[in-house]
Structures are given as C-alpha cells and as structure tokens.
Amino acid sequence: MNREMQALIAKESTFQEGVEKLLALRGSLFEQITQIVTTFPEEAFCQMPFAGADGYHSKTLAYSIWHIFRIEDIVAHEMIAGDQQVLFSQGFQDAVQSSRITTGNELIGIEIVDFSRQLNVKELYRYAREVRQSTDQILKHLEYADLKRKFGDEMIEKLRNTHCISEAESAGWLIEYWCGKDVLGLIRMPFSRHWIMHIEAMRRIKNRLCKLARKGVDPVAYCGLSCNHCFLAAWCGSCRTAYNTCSFATVSPDGKCPNAVCCQEKGIEGCYACDLLEVCEKGFYVPSNDRANAAKAQALYIRKHGRQAFLKVHDRLHEKYDFARTQEILGQDYQEGLRILEEN
C-alpha cells in the first residue's frame, strides 16, 4: 500500500487516489495499535524485551506510540496547518501524565522505560487517535499544489521555540531534517513510513512479550487447542496469561476470549472439563467458526485421555501431516475428529 500510495500521490492525475490510499494505509496501521492497546496488559507497555538492540524494536510499546504521534502532531500542526498541536489544544499532556512534551528521541535505555511507566496508556491511545484524525482531516484538504510547499529558516526558528524537540544531539537534527523536506516529503515520512517502521517494531516487541509470557504455562488452551502446536503462537501469549491475543480475544470487545472467561467463572481447567462441551456454542465454538468442531474434537480427546496424551497425539499428527489449522485434518464433524485423534 505504501509503495502504491507513494506513486499515486506524486502525480497530479492520481493525487486524490493517492490521498485515499494513504488514509487507508494509516487506517490499517492504526488498527494494529488499537489491537495492541485493547488486548495487552498495562505492564506490557513499559517492557523492553530487546533492550540494547540496534533498531526501533529496542524501545517500549508506550514510547513507540508517544513518539509516532508527537512527531506527527508537531509536523501536521506547526508546519502544515499552522495551528495548535493536539497535545496542547486538548489538554493531553496532563491526561497522558507525561513529564515531557518532546518527541522522546533524546531518551535512551532505562530512561525510555521510566518515561513509559509514567504514561497513562488509555489516554495515550486517545491522544494518538485524536492526532491521527486531525492529520487525516489536514490530508483530505490538501491540494496537489500544496505538495511542493517548502519550509525555510522561519519554520526552523518557530519549531525551536516550541521546545517540543530536545536540543540533545540525538533529537536536535529532526528540525532541520523536517524543514529540508516539502509537504510531499513529510507525507512520505512522518505520516506513513515512520508509522510503518515503528508499528513493525511494536509487533516485534509484542510477539516477544507473548513468547516470554507463554514460558512455563500449561500449553493446553481453554478451548482444547495446543499452544505448542498453534500457528498463532508466534503472536499469542496463551489464553492462560494476560497476554492472550488469540483470535477470539482480539475480536471480543473486552479483549478476553469467551471460553477462557467462562472456564474461569466456572472454576474449571478448560472446556474439556465442562458437561456442556458437546452442545456449547460460545466463543471458539460458535457454529460460524470453521475451527469449532476441530477444537471440540480435541477438547473431547483431552476429556477422555488427558492432556499429556493429547500433546503427544499432536506431535505425531505434525510428524505425519503438513497442516497449520487443525480443521484441515480433523474436519468439520467433532465425532469424526475425535476418531481421527484416537487412531493416531
């Protein structure tokens, strides 16, 4: 999308199409931030699982969100629109509980963790959403001729006077970098590529946090699937931890899988210990889910033969067949699926 947007937006005849592509790209990237904020526990946002690494993934989730949207807020409002930044116009500094107004480029190592700990993540997300929406409005009203607009010494001075960019060596260069670009250049970096780079880094951070969370945790999920053999395990931290980002958790409004919640309320180990399993249509077992019967077959197998035997069957199935989703081999009938598991 980014490549297509870049090509479309640079030509007068396809400029509007390019803006629409840019808005769609930003929408889909922002959706990833939304999913992280709605499904990850508060503590995840100040963890630094790649501390000392060379790259954007060496930061924290909270820092990444702050940094992306501080930069966008400054560039969109001080440089392009010439009005007040969202941080100030809507009182977000207090709401987010940030001790600073800068982009954060000047922070290193433990300073990033300490700064992340201060931030109110829900308010930070609200700030990010407001900045995105206000920038989207600016982008919608841009005309092709605006792309060539350049920024001179006056803008450099103005940005310095905002004190929103630290004078530290690791941050001060930003002002001249932005002012060396025209509006098209700014669209290509702070409003698109900069998002991509940091959101990609956020994905690496969250996947690592999930992997760490799963360590030593019972690998049999509440619904009857095996986390050890699950194709989602690269980015799910197990429904038995606070890092549950399985498909049903991420689509649930409260970020919790209905099967996990139901088992916890009943005080049972998993759906395999429930008398209603065969007839249940909750969460993962909703009839419209094409994995429902395969999951039920596995839960029934666990009920009959236990968790250790179940994990061994999975090992054997994976040795024998090439599959990612269990319904590919267990089919759509849970009795038949159970039979296949017992034959292996």
The footprint of ligand SF4 (CB under 6 A) covers 221, 225, 227, 230, 232-233, 236, 238-239, 246, 259, 262-263, 266, 271, 274, 276-277, 280, 282-283
Closest distance of CB 34 from ligand SF4, Å: 19
Distance from C-alpha of 339 to C-alpha of 344, rounded to nearest angstrom: 9
Nearest-Å Rg of the Cα atoms of the chain is 24
Helix (H, G, I), strand (E, B) or coil at 25: helix
Closest distance of CB 319 from ligand SF4, Å: 19
Closest distance of CB 334 from ligand SF4, Å: 12
Nearer to ligand SF4, 239 or 338 (CB): 239
Closest distance of CB 25 from ligand SF4, Å: 27
Other Cβ atoms within 10 Å of 173 Cβ, number: 12
Nearer to ligand SF4, 190 or 270 (CB): 270
Evaluate whether 23 touches 140 at the Cβ level (below 8 Å): yes
Nearer to ligand SF4, 105 or 238 (CB): 238
Nearer to ligand SF4, 92 or 284 (CB): 284
Q: Of 166, 163, 46, nearest to 104 (Cα)?
A: 166
Closest distance of CB 317 from ligand SF4, Å: 15
Nearer to ligand SF4, 174 or 225 (CB): 225
Nearer to ligand SF4, 77 or 214 (CB): 214
Distance from C-alpha of 140 to C-alpha of 80, rounded to nearest angstrom: 13
Evaluate whether 290 touches 333 at the Cβ level (below 8 Å): no
Answer positive or negative: Cα dihedral of 274, 279, 282, 287.
positive
Phi, psi at residue 220, to the nearest 5°?
-95, 120
Q: Of 161, 2, 191, nearest to 80 (Cα)?
A: 191
Closest distance of CB 174 from ligand SF4, Å: 39
Other Cβ atoms within 10 Å of 65 Cβ, number: 25
Other Cβ atoms within 10 Å of 316 Cβ, number: 11
